[in-house]
Structure 1
Amino acid sequence: MLENPRSARVRAVAKLTKRRMRDETGLFLLEGPQAVREALTYGPDGIVELYATPAAADKHTDIARHAAEAGVDLVFTSEQVLEAMSDTVTPQGVVAVARQFPTSARDVFAASPRLVAVCEQVRDPGNLGTIIRAADAAGADAVILTGRTVDPYNPKVVRSTTGSLFHVPIALGGELADVVDAARAAGLHVVAADVKGGDLLAARADGTLARPTAWLFGNEARGLEDDALALADVALRLPIYGRAESLNLATAASVCLYETAFAQRTP
């Protein structure tokens, strides 16, 4: 059992909460039974290390079973070691180290997608993680991160995806203009989510949302800059029927993605 929270091995895992160490190593931190369970199911070859307290292993017996089936060694730790490794205030007793597995926008569009979410300058980890989760739930083919969007391997992003990080391709590092050009070349209609845009309900009625679509989502505070908006074929807004000043970015993105998913599946 690993019992020394100050050991080099424990410190190396804990350092993956920092962007610099994730970039240097190409690794990232997975916390909690759900994230680890999804990794063991959909990407077991990417798991480098797996740790759990005896109590957590007893509670989540399927994790030990899946790890054994995948040939991943499970190392038992003390509660103190697990806490030292974790980014959360109340760890759930299971932590893994995994290899990052980003894809490219080129590969995304080569696969003839019908629904893609493009995040430009999304800075809040919880928002990005929720958008990835919503994209997965809505059957989107990929999420593409442009500009200074937060690192998808940030622990808070990973936790917010609740495992969807392993279900939907995530493409990194493209410039928005290049991504929009590639989307259009692949036959996608480029739609910007913007409070000054046209009515989403009218777009649903006229068939706009039934087309293969790349949604553009901007920064939480500023939205999409004017030059980014100019790249889109059309901008649409969500109607607000109550007295709310606005919608959270991730909530708005979820509605937009689902509206498109509904439209594309309507006979």
Structure 2
Amino acid sequence: MLEGAKPILELLRSAPDQVVEVVVTSNFLDRHTSSERKQVLEASGRVYSCPMERFSPLSDVDSSQGILALVRRPTWDQQTILARPRLLGVYGDRLQDPTNLGSIIRTAAALDIGGLWLTAHSVDVFNPKVVRATAGTLFRLPIFLHAELQDLVQAGCTVLAADSAHRDSISLRSIHSLPARTIVALGSEGQGLSPATLQAARTRLTVPLRKGVESLNVAAAAAMILYHLSGLPSSR
């Protein structure tokens, strides 16, 4: 279930066939433009209107915008993604904070990252807090659950591990090119990357920080790393 004007309107623009049903209140219709109202009322799925007092029990937020949608979960073909000659992807190792994961998805979608692979002990990607934090971009990024890093390595991907604690980690600024198929491994703030992930990595990298600042949260680090790497040429 999606809730909120921004993610639902974005989904109606980008993937309207994913929308099964929309529930809307007069509060929403009164506060939005005629084009937005038309977009909702002409949605390909069924549209229901209900008073706010009946809508409120359906909502999981304190101040609802008066619109929610039942949507189909997206499906992606991993083999098609891994067959691309050039790929920059993200491997999330036990990412458990829903807001951080949602922010990473939003950043990755904005930068046209090839995909996100999440380990079995990561937060549910369809957790309402994750969905809200993606701001409607959840359906733009291929996401694969219960991922095993070894599968990506066997598919010919090179792993770069974000590891600020290791003395041999190289500065992000010193990376000027990438293997054509690269996966960036990100760990949870509490546990970091697993030993198996670190062992599989060809390189460990870190975001250079001002002296006295120990670290960034994983969403901020991901944004900086992906922005830098997504603009690099392939190494020869």
Q: Which has the higher helix share?
A: 1
Is 1:199 the counterpart of 2:171 in the alignment? yes
Distance between the aligned counterparts of 1:144 and 1:194, measured in 2?
Answer: 18
When the two chains are superposed, the root-mean-square deviation of aligned CA atoms in Å is: 1.9
User: Aligned with 2:71: secondary structure?
Assistant: strand
Deviates more, 1:194-203 or 1:153-162: 194-203
User: Aligned with 1:230: secondary structure?
Assistant: helix
User: Aligned with 2:100: secondary structure?
Assistant: helix
Where does residue 159 of structure 2 map in the other structure?
Answer: 190
Q: 1:150 to 1:173 in 2, by over 3 A?
A: same
- 4+ long deviations beyond 4 Å: none
Where does residue 171 of structure 1 map in the other structure?
Answer: 144
Residue of 113, 120, 128 corresponding to 1:155: 128
Is 1:52 the counterpart of 2:24 in the alignment? yes
Q: Deviations over 1:89-122 (max 9, x none)?
A: 2111111111111324333212444211111110
Deviates more, 1:188-197 or 1:156-165: 188-197
Shift of 1:224: 0.3
Is 1:222 the counterpart of 2:195 in the alignment? no
**How high is the TM-score relative to the length of structure 2?**
0.89
Contact kept? 1:189, 1:212, Cα under 8 Å: yes
Residue of 201, 224, 233 corresponding to 1:255: 224
**How high is the TM-score relative to the length of structure 1?**
0.79
Q: 1:82 to 1:243 in 2, by over 3 A?
A: farther
Q: Deviations over 1:166-186 (max 9, x none)?
A: 21211222222223322xx2x
Distance between the aligned counterparts of 1:76 and 1:145, measured in 2?
Answer: 37
Q: Deviations over 1:209-245 (max 9, x none)?
A: 4744211111221110122111111110111114322
Contact kept? 2:85, 2:181, Cα under 8 Å: no
Is 1:64 the counterpart of 2:37 in the alignment? yes
Distance between the aligned counterparts of 1:179 and 1:213, measured in 2?
Answer: 9
Contact kept? 1:64, 1:74, Cα under 8 Å: no
Shift of 1:73: 2.7
Contact kept? 2:163, 2:206, Cα under 8 Å: yes
Residue of 30, 49, 65 corresponding to 1:92: 65
Distance between the aligned counterparts of 1:150 and 1:112, measured in 2?
Answer: 30
Distance between the aligned counterparts of 2:191 and 2:111, measured in 1?
Answer: 25
Distance between the aligned counterparts of 2:77 and 2:149, measured in 1?
Answer: 13
Where does residue 141 of structure 1 map in the other structure?
Answer: 114
Distance between the aligned counterparts of 2:86 and 2:30, measured in 1?
Answer: 42
Distance between the aligned counterparts of 2:113 and 2:81, measured in 1?
Answer: 11
Structure 1: where are the runs of 5+ without partners? 1-28
Structure 2: where are the runs of 5+ without partners? none
Contact kept? 1:53, 1:82, Cα under 8 Å: yes
Residue of 2, 17, 35 corresponding to 2:7: 35
Write the letter of the residue equivalent to 2:23.
Y
